[in-house]
Amino acid sequence: MPRMSPVDLRSALADARTLVRKTAQEAARLADSLRSERSKGGVDLVTEADGYIEAALTAALHERFPEHRIQAEEGTRLGPVDSPWCWHLDPLDGTGNFSRGLPYWAISLGLAHGDTPICGIIVGPQCGLDLAGGPGLGAWDGDRALAAASPAGEERTWMIATDWPWDLVERQRTCTFLTRMAPRIRQYKTYGSAAVDLAHVALGKVDAYLISRIFPWDQAGGAPICAALGYELRRWDGSPWDLRHADIVACRPGMWPGLAAALAP
């Protein structure tokens, strides 16, 4: 595991959180002038805000952490290629929402050592999210310490968040899961942003989030916050999860047996 001490990690997390908060507030202030969009292929899109946030944050992170790698969704790659430390940035998770003036978007930033997420930050100024944390460090909503994950209740009380992968064929797996779970749980939720959904797991607003195809920058911010609170992180087949994998389940303790059958091939 990392040579960086817990004290160093706390300092790095605090510094990075300050940078993300500042950039998020500026993006929210300029939102109406940054909604212009173009297609990335298929049904995916990118707005001027994605580029604006990515350029501002990657430059600031590289100045503050020159010994770390930085990988961002829209292609920015900075830092020494042999560093085991890497900041994974999604500059605007929920781009579709942002482009339509919906508030459910957030900046997601996570620090990993190799494939292991160490700490993460999610800031959504228009939907009221300001989360940070990591295993061994704790987790916070603003300055308020978040409570540890409580065990899952009965299935009929479950609220589960999921989302459409950009791979249109892959969406059939989501449809199969939803069909299998529909008779058993209270509700599904989707906000069109992995960062927002993972934040809602950490906040206890939903009981689980899962998606079958996702990128490292989508999950590197939210996963370590959830892990810090005792939420279980798995792959869809139940095996251990890390950033090498493109599928994730984040759920309350004790939920996995109820989810496993619905996730089977």
Concatenated DSSP letters of 184-242? TSSEEE--S-HHHHHHHHHTTSSSEEEESS--HHHHTTHHHHHHHTT-EEE-TTSSB--
Residue segments in the chain with a per-residue pLDDT below the cut of 70: 1-3, 5-7, 37, 40, 42-45
| Residues facing 239 on adjacent strands | none
| Alpha carbons 252 and 202: distance in angstroms, whole number | 9
Q: Which residue has the tokens 């999950």?
A: 219
Four-way CATH pick for 155-263: 3.40.190.80, 2.60.40.1180, 3.30.930.10, 1.10.10.60: 3.40.190.80
**Direct distance between the N- and C-terminal alpha carbons of the chain, in angstroms, rounded to an integer:** 34
The number of CA neighbours under 13 Å toward the Cβ of 66 is 1
- By CB neighbour count within 10 A (0-12 exposed, 13-18 middle, 19+ buried), where does 256 fall? middle
pLDDT reported for residue 45: 61
pLDDT reported for residue 4: 73
Length, in residues, of the chain:
265
| Residues facing 130 on adjacent strands | 123
Four-way CATH pick for 6-145: 3.30.540.10, 1.20.1260.10, 1.10.1740.10, 3.30.460.30: 3.30.540.10
Cα dist. 161→23, 194, 247 in Å?
A: 27, 9, 14
| Alpha carbons 24 and 60: distance in angstroms, whole number | 13
DSSP string, 104-128: --EEEEEEEETTEEEEEEEEETTTT
pLDDT reported for residue 220: 98
pLDDT reported for residue 189: 95
Query: Can you give the residue ranges of every domain in the chain?
Result: 6-145, 155-263
| Residues facing 47 on adjacent strands | 37
pLDDT reported for residue 30: 86
3-state secondary structure of 243: coil
Per-residue model confidence as pLDDT tens digits over 88-111? 999 999 998 998 999 999 999 999
pLDDT reported for residue 37: 67
Q: Closest by alpha carbon to 261, among 169, 151, 150, 184?
A: 184
pLDDT reported for residue 7: 62
Give yes or no for a contact between 235 and 256, defined as CB atoms under 8 angstroms apart. no
Angle, helices 6-29/48-64, rounded to nearest 10 degrees: 150
